Amino acid sequence: MSDPVQRILTALRKHGHEPQRAGDGWASRCPAHDDRNPSLSINTGDDGRALVNCHAGCTFDEVCGAIGLRRADLFPDDPNRRNGHALKPRRRGDRDTTARNPARGAGCVTVASVTTGGRTFLTDRDAVAKLERGQGPRSAMWTYHNAAGERVGLVVRWDTPTGKDVRPVSKTPASWCIGGMPTRRPLYALPDVLATKPGERVYITEGEKAAHAARSVGLVATTSAHGSKSASKADWSPLAGREVVILPDHDKAGERYADDVARLCIAAGAKSVRIVRLVELWARMPEGGDMADLVEHCGGDVDPIRAEVEALADKTEPEAATPDAPETSAVPAFKPFPADVLPEPIRGFVTQAAKAIGCDSSYIALPMMSGLASAIGNTHRIELKPGWTEPAIVWTAIIGESGTAKSPALELALRPIRKRQHDAMKEHAEAMKQHADALAMHERDAAHWRKSKSDTIPPARPEAPLADRCWTDDATTEALAVLLEQNPRGLLMVRDELAGWFNFDRYAGGKGGGDVAKWLEMFGGRAMVVDRKGGGTLYVPRASVSIAGGIQPQTLRRALGIENTENGLASRLLMACPPRKAKRWTEAYVNAETEAAVASVFDRLFRPTMETDDGDESGGRPRLVTLADDGKAAWVRFYNEHAAEQAELSGDLSAAWSKLEGYAARLALVVHLTRRAAGDATLRDPARVDEASIAAGVALARWFGDEARRVYAILGESDEGRESRGLVEVVQRKGGNVSGRELVQASRAFRTVADAEEALSALVEAGAGSWVTPEQHGRGQPKARRFVLSPVYGVNVYRNAVGDTGIGNAVDVDGVDTPTNTGDGWGEL
């Protein structure tokens, strides 16, 4: 056939597509991706070649390879040669799988392959060709993409007389290899899953073939990579807020996979999860049958199949949530911050300051930990073993709606550092006055020297004094590099609104990549090089910057997004998002003795300097603090337990756990040096971190892990989940139980008792609590029925107007009494 366009049209029809006339050319569904609309255009060029364009972004080679054509087939016939090389016959079904613009270091690691002995390949096409030389022509191949739409993995399948043979191919930072993708694996067809809106339905099958079949009938479908036993290694977070329908294979393995996926999706914050058995649509479905078999059985008639599957999903009841994650909300109960593990006087300050402001103690503790770490800065590091040290760098974010006292908490917690900076700037102002006088004297002396025409050296110009800086609010890396060069021990960055810090795009010409990469380096206290826009280069050997700030949950959700989650920025933040408290006047305050003691601790932490050698112009190096014997034993226990926990996690939590490992050591270092600065009599060896300090660091890291679960669940919950959680928090503030009338008094969201009781009844139906009737109150108890929260929410008692009942023990969730009428809407954090 001499016409290249006709070649393409014929190949498309052979592969099940039906190109249609569109103006002077043709339009078709693209064969290189699961296409519902005719996004592929085919036209004839001036020289007779075929012009092919996929408007969804598939490359030229991907389109040709999907229908068994070569580039040469798109040109007018030259049957024997092209570019001086003989053409080889191409097997039908072969695909050119050259990756398009793979992201450098796209979150993958090199995976050695038994088949290739660890060999890597320039392209995925080369890796597949290697497999085909040993296995023969493949039967099918599926491509995995990351959130940016870049190819990161392939699953290649061969159908053999004895069954199927599946081999994975994955992207490494600089090449491709035959081997599985690393954990936190993306879901199949991830870009399409991400394109769905919260509340929309996503179907999950066991395996790519079944997922492809589901997609062929118009369902948004996905699966996890590398087998039914690897579900926990996939990142299920994109399903947060979505309605999930699982279509398991018709066998025991399929049921096990469905149970695993249901649990993982609930933990990821799915709006609902249903397990739909396709055998209900096909009574004689064979053992192991799946969606692909159903589509084949029904003859591929798209609309009826889709309608029947959707109708079956509609009538299937959602799976019950696990006891630890009630269906009303995937957000775990808030655990009080472990202030008792902090050394005095920090512990007393955190407690007093929280009561004085009326906020949760975490709002004081988190910026305090960042402040203490910044005071230590580059002067010390903790050495866990030769070659593994952790710096005193801590990034914290307190999360809450506007009006939840984030700013007062930051101000009070960091008052010692702000005062130190204030005093330093006063000294600098005085030094600048003296410098101005010195400059005037220099100008006078320089004028005399010029008039004298002397051969002597001219008077030296006095250097301007540098301000001693301990904190900043400028997030640009160039400005930071200047300050760090002048203050090598490090800085604290304080942002009342962390949203400004997340706005990296404005510092990189709209690209945002440069500053983010440098911040990721700064988290490790590594060297930083900045090429200044005006010329010259800044070099900081150890860029130490701790961070403290506040942010609203909705703003954080937008700021993190996919990019700042995938690049690891989110996992480096220690976050706290306690339930909202109503404001209430209090006479409590931080007493002067406690405040003075904390200021003294900061002064002592700022005194040590870095170690230096003769001729060392880098500002010095940190002193290493090693582990005492009991501290080492405590660290090893934690390390092994933490590693076992992380092995069971995936997605955002797995990333958070990887950073919490190092954070446990960093926080132990901060506690240890704070104990030393406070003159702790129980500290035996100031140069060695003991079991007490390690235990404190571990307790703090575990709390931050629990809070990470809550924050990620909050960021991923649907509007309905957010509303139900808000209602639960109102009931928690009321002691775990409430009547309809009390709920009306406590929240402006309800106008009548009937409205309030209807909302509470919805919680009862969801299993979040129960009604206690007047008959159950007993003699002398109130006559109105009361709603009682489930113990899952951390409250297992209800209080009434007369007194406590005998059910459980009273638990004050917030630690501070709240008034009866908060005046707040219950839908907020």
Residues 736 and 600 in one domain: no
What value does the mean pLDDT take over residues 535-539?
Answer: 85
C-alpha torsion sign, points 18, 21, 25, 28: negative
pTM above 0.85, yes or no: no
List, in sequence order, the alpha helices (H) in 166-317.
190-195, 208-216, 252-267, 291-297, 302-315
Strongest mean pLDDT among 10-14, 124-128, 316-320, 508-512: 124-128
What is the rounded CA–CA span in Å between residue 124 and residue 145? 13
The burial class, CB within 10 Å (0-12 / 13-18 / 19+), for 817 is: exposed
Residue 812: the pLDDT is: 28
Task: Mean pLDDT check: name the lowest of 73-87, 385-399, 570-584.
Answer: 73-87
| DSSP-derived secondary structure letter, 171 | E
Residues 20 and 69 in one domain: yes
Cα three-residue angle 815-816-818, rounded to 5 degrees: 130
Where a domain ends, among 571, 606, 623?
A: 623
Residue 229: the pLDDT is: 78
Give the total number of structural domains in the chain. 4
Look up residue 472 and give its two tokens. 């900043």
When comparing pLDDT for 662 and 27, which is higher? 662
Query: E strands, 264-411, where?
Result: 272-275, 380-385, 388-391, 395-399
The dihedrals phi and psi of 167, each to the nearest 5 degrees, come to -130, 135
What value does the mean pLDDT take over residues 57-62?
Answer: 65
* Structural domain that includes position 261: 190-315
Residues 344 and 311 in one domain: no
Q: What is the CATH number of the domain that holds 826?
A: 1.10.10
Could you read off the pLDDT of 333-352 as tens digits, one per residue?
788 999 999 999 999 999 99
633 located within any domain:
no
Helix axes 629-647, 651-677, angle to 10 degrees: 160
563 located within any domain:
yes
C-alpha torsion sign, points 358, 363, 368, 371: negative
541 located within any domain:
yes
Residues 618 and 571 in one domain: yes
What amino acid is encoded at 455 in this protein? D
Residue 643 pLDDT class (50, 70, 90 cuts): very high
Quickly list DSSP for 511-561: --HHHHHHHHHHHTT--EEEE-TTS-EEEESS--EEEEEEE-HHHHHHHHT
Strongest mean pLDDT among 1-15, 115-129, 283-297, 645-659: 283-297
714 located within any domain:
no
Q: Say if residue 91's pLDDT is above 80.
A: no
Nearest residue to 700 via CA among 341, 331, 261, 277: 341
- At 678, is the secondary structure helix, strand, or coil? coil
Peptide bond into 345 cis (omega under 30): yes
What is the rounded CA–CA span in Å between residue 398 and residue 416? 19
Residue 618: the pLDDT is: 57
| DSSP-derived secondary structure letter, 771 | E
When comparing pLDDT for 141 and 829, which is higher? 141
Residues 610 and 548 in one domain: yes
Look up residue 673 and give its two tokens. 């040096």
Query: E strands, 172-225, where?
Result: 176-178, 201-205, 221-222
- At 300, is the secondary structure helix, strand, or coil? coil
Could you read off the pLDDT of 375-429 as tens digits, one per residue?
999 999 999 999 999 999 999 999 998 888 999 999 999 999 999 999 999 999 9
Residues 281 and 409 in one domain: no
Residues 307 and 343 in one domain: no
185 located within any domain:
no
Residues 751 and 809 in one domain: yes
Residue 1: the pLDDT is: 41
Q: What mean pLDDT is reported for the chain?
A: 82
Q: Say if residue 814's pLDDT is above 60.
A: no
Where a domain ends, among 64, 86, 108?
A: 86
What residues does 143 pair with on adjacent strands? 154
When comparing pLDDT for 443 and 227, which is higher? 443
Residue 232: the pLDDT is: 82
Strongest mean pLDDT among 40-54, 490-504, 699-713: 699-713
Task: Mean pLDDT check: name the lowest of 455-459, 506-510, 560-564, 642-646.
Answer: 506-510
Q: Say if residue 568's pLDDT is above 70.
A: yes
Where a domain ends, among 589, 623, 657?
A: 623
What value does the mean pLDDT take over residues 511-533?
Answer: 82
Q: Say if residue 786's pLDDT is above 90.
A: no
Residue 217: the pLDDT is: 92
Residue 343: the pLDDT is: 96
Residue 334: the pLDDT is: 85
| DSSP-derived secondary structure letter, 231 | G
What percent of the chain lies above the pLDDT cut of 90? 46
Could you read off the pLDDT of 793-806 as tens digits, one per residue?
544 332 322 222 22
Task: Mean pLDDT check: name the lowest of 100-104, 617-621, 711-715.
Answer: 100-104
Residues 588 and 538 in one domain: yes
Residue 23 pLDDT class (50, 70, 90 cuts): confident
Residues 77 and 226 in one domain: no
Residue 72 CB contacts under 8 Å (≥ 6 apart), including other chains = 78, 82, 87
Q: Buried b / exposed e across 46-64, counting CB within 10 Å, b at 16+? A: eeeebebebeeebbbbbbb
What is the rounded CA–CA span in Å between residue 357 and residue 359? 6
What value does the mean pLDDT take over residues 112-137?
Answer: 75
Q: Buried b / exposed e across 470-482, counting CB within 10 Å, b at 16+? A: bbbeebebbebbb
438 located within any domain:
no
Quickly list DSSP for 618-650: S--BPEEEEE-HHHHHHHHHHHHHHHHHHHT--
Residue 811 pLDDT class (50, 70, 90 cuts): very low
Q: What is the CATH number of the domain that holds 555?
A: 3.40.50
What is the rounded CA–CA span in Å between residue 104 and residue 49? 34
Whether 744 and 753 have beta carbons less than 8 Å apart is answered as yes
Residue 615: the pLDDT is: 53
Residues 827 and 739 in one domain: yes
Residue 610 pLDDT class (50, 70, 90 cuts): confident
Whether 184 and 567 have beta carbons less than 8 Å apart is answered as no
Residue 113 pLDDT class (50, 70, 90 cuts): very low
What value does the mean pLDDT take over residues 236-246?
Answer: 92
Residues 283 and 367 in one domain: no
Q: Say if residue 514's pLDDT is above 70.
A: no
Nearest residue to 418 via CA among 349, 492, 350: 492
Cα 780 to the center of its chain, rounded Å: 52
What value does the mean pLDDT take over residues 92-111?
Answer: 34
Look up residue 22 and give its two tokens. 């569109």
C-alpha torsion sign, points 541, 546, 551, 553: positive
356 located within any domain:
yes
Quickly list DSSP for 44-105: E-TTSPEEEEETT---HHHHHHHTT--GGGGSS--SSEETTEEPPP--TT------SSPPTT
What value does the mean pLDDT take over residues 575-596?
Answer: 90
Q: Say if residue 505's pLDDT is above 70.
A: no
Residue 522: the pLDDT is: 92
Task: Mean pLDDT check: name the lowest of 340-344, 478-482, 561-565, 604-608.
Answer: 561-565
Q: What is the CATH number of the domain that holds 220?
A: 3.40.1360.10
What percent of the chain lies above the pLDDT cut of 70? 82
Q: Say if residue 34's pLDDT is above 70.
A: no
496 located within any domain:
yes
What is the rounded CA–CA span in Å between residue 43 and residue 60? 14
